[in-house]
Amino acid sequence: MGMRRRARELALQLLYQHEHTGADLDVMQRDFDEWTGASDGVREFADVLLRGTLSQLEKLDEELALQTAHWRLERLAAVDRNILRLAMYELMHEPDTPPAVVIDEAIEIAKKFGAEESGRFVNGVLDGFIKRRADAR
């Protein structure tokens, strides 16, 4: 598995945990064996995604609500919701990564951590998000 995929997975796991426990990020990172066992590069990218997503959470949730008009955010599966938040953050704030790569990575992570239909759901939401942003330009 590539360094960036591993970083995205770690960020997802901690974002999910933070959403459900409200625990301090530094404490979660320190106590998470997979985090402490990861390379510096993986931890650095994961930390950028995690802290960036949390710092933009209100805006990301607004965008997500627009994109999932028929679903209330709290009704989305927690794993899917957090995968979408991370991917949308990366699409909006990490321009060095091509959108197709971000979407493909999110789909693969959804297939690994989500339900049977999570990959297709994530793909549809992110594809619509990209198209809506392109139309707004």
CATH number at residue 51: 1.10.940.10
Torsional class of 86: left (φ above 0), alpha (ψ -120 to 50), beta (otherwise): alpha
Q: How many domains does the chain have?
A: 1
pLDDT in tens, 26-57: 999 999 999 999 999 999 999 999 999 999 99
Please list the ranges in the chain whose pLDDT falls under 50.
none
Enclosing domain of residue 81: 3-136
* Residue-wise DSSP of 67-136: HTTTS-GGGS-HHHHHHHHHHHHHHHH-TTS-HHHHHHHHHHHHHHHS-TTHHHHHHHHHHHHHHHHHHH
* Model pLDDT, residue 74: 83
* Model pLDDT, residue 16: 96
* Model pLDDT, residue 33: 94
| Cβ–Cβ under 8 Å, residues 12 and 83 | yes
* Model pLDDT, residue 9: 97
The structure's pTM equals 0.94
* Model pLDDT, residue 69: 78
* Model pLDDT, residue 110: 97
